[in-house]
Amino acid sequence: MIDFSIILAGFGGQGILSAGKFAAEAALYEGKEVSWFPSYGPEMRGGTANCSVVISDEPIGSPVVNDADVVICLNQPSMEKFEPCIKPGGILIIDSSLIHIKPTRDDIRFIPMNASEIANELGNMAFATISMLGCLSKATGCFTRESFESALYEVLPERRHKLIPGNVQAFDRGAEFAK
């Protein structure tokens, strides 16, 4: 049985695939079964990118997500494409710094957050997706802050460990939007 499914979507270069990997690794730290399934265009940057993350207490039969519990979008085309894929009662988290439309559905929870502005304030645009993971964590409880921080040490190469305090700060800033 699938417990929780997430779709992260945006343009290539926004850290979508990395954010999905961090979320998956954080759930692994909590003893969950996890799948991470990336999808991207042939472009290095600027093309479409999305990934699905499935978190479960039981083995996962398929990484494909048709009905997501949560969709995180960093651009308008992704929101338009994936909003219909959210389960009734699910959550849509958007970067309101980049997306200036509202969802068409009223049967979902909508959390607009200025993720790119937060990242800019913190001095690293990669922190936009990280702040959105903080919101995801707080809104759903799918993984904890502690597991996320452990995942950073696991996934990031050692030369990037100096960025971990900034990542955790971005995570905490994003968690504030879930209240």
82 assigned to some structural domain: yes
* Domain membership of residue 102 as a residue range: 4-114+141-156
Q: Does some domain include residue 169?
A: no
**85: domain CATH number?**
3.40.920.10
What confidence tens digit (pLDDT) does each residue in 86-98 have?
A: 999 999 999 999 9
Q: Into how many domains does the chain fold?
A: 1
Domain-embedded: residue 101: yes
61, part of any domain? yes
The strands making up 48-56's β-sheet, listed across from edge to edge, are: 33-40, 48-56, 4-11, 68-73, 86-95, 109-113
Kindly list the distances between the CA atom of residue 17 and the CA atoms of 50, 73, 89, in Å, as whole numbers in the listed order. Answer: 7, 12, 25
**Is the Cβ–Cβ distance between 65 and 5 less than 8 Å?**
yes
pLDDT at 75 over 90: yes
Per-residue pLDDT band at 1 (split at 50, 70, 90): very low
Give residue-wise pLDDT tens across range 115-129: 999 999 999 999 999
- Least Cα distance to 129 among 4, 34, 6, 3 occurs for 6
Tens of pLDDT along 124-167?
A: 999 999 999 999 999 999 999 999 999 999 999 999 999 999 99
- In this structure, what token pair is assigned to residue 21? 């990997």
Give the mean pLDDT of 47-52.
89
Closest of 11, 14, 29, 2 to residue 137, by C-alpha: 29
Contact 138, 5 (CB under 8 A): no
* Overall pTM surpassing 0.85 (yes/no): yes
Query: What pLDDT score does 127 carry?
Result: 96
Residue 176 lies in a domain: no
